[in-house]
Amino acid sequence: MIIRCIGHAEFLLELENGMRIATDPYDASCGYPVEKIAADVALVSHGHHDHNAVENLTGLSRIIDAPGEYDLGDGVRVRAVLAAHDEAGGAKRGSNLLFCLEAEGLRVMHLGDLGHIPTQEQLDALGRADVVMIPVGGFYTIDAPTAREVAQLLHARVILPMHYRTSANADWPIDGVERFMHLYQVPAEFVDLLRVSGGDLACQPPLAVLKPASLNAQAHT
C-alpha cells in the first residue's frame, strides 16, 4: 500500500489491486491548492467544506459517509464508526466518522476531525491501528497531547499527523505539526509517501510527516 498526503486531511491510498481510496477531500477555501485526484472510493468523515469536496475527485464509484461496515471487494473492508467533532458530543460542530480500512494485512485508520478521546466502545470497534492518520492541530479537533493519547489507546505502530497549520492555512487558529512532534523522543521522518505492507511495519518510522503533495506541486510550478 502506498499512502500520500494531498493536503490537510486528504490522503490517497493506493492498493496493490489498483484500488485508489481518497479521504476527506478539501475545497479551495481550505487554502491548499486544489488538485483533481483520481479515486475509486471516497471516505468522508463529515460534511464540512474542508473534508467533503468529492467534486474534486474523478472516477468515483463509491462514497462512504455514514456509519457501518463496507465490503469493497477483493478482501478490502472499511468500518466507519460514529464519533463527535467536539468534546460536547457533537453539540458544537456535529458528528464525525472514524474509519478503519482493512486491506493487505493492514489496519489503516483515518480519524477525520475527531474532537474528543474515543469511548471504549469506539476503541473496541476500531481495534488496533497499524497506521493512523490523526488530527493534531487543536481548536477544531483534538490537540497535540490528546492526539498522542489517542494514538497510544489505538496502539498505533505508525502515526501520520494531519490537520495542522501550514503555509496554506497560516491564518487558522490551530497549531503546526511541531507541537505534536515535540511530544515524542524519536524524531519524525519527513517523507513524500509511505510505502507499507503487513510484513514491514517494524521497518517503518513510528512517526512520519507526509509532505502535502499539493504544496510540493505548487512549489515546482
CATH number at residue 190: 3.60.15.10
Question: How many angstroms separate the Cα of 170 from the Cα of each of 33, 71, 117, 144, 167?
Answer: 14, 39, 26, 17, 5
Listed in sequence order, the residues at least 6 apart from 34 whose beta carbon sits closer than 8 Å to its beta carbon are 26, 27, 28, 53, 56, 214
- Say if pTM beats, i.e. exceeds, 0.85: yes
User: What 3-state class would DSSP assign to 28?
Assistant: helix
H or E stretch at 2:
strand 2-7
Closest CA to 119 of 153, 170, 161, 68: 153
Q: Could you report the per-residue pLDDT of 27-57, keeping only the tens digit for each?
A: 999 999 998 999 999 999 999 998 999 999 9
Number of domains in the chain: 1
Residue span of the structural domain in which 150 resides: 2-219
Closest CA to 161 of 100, 119, 195, 110: 110
Q: Could you report the per-residue pLDDT of 64-118, keeping only the tens digit for each?
A: 999 999 999 999 999 999 999 988 888 888 899 999 999 999 999 999 999 999 9
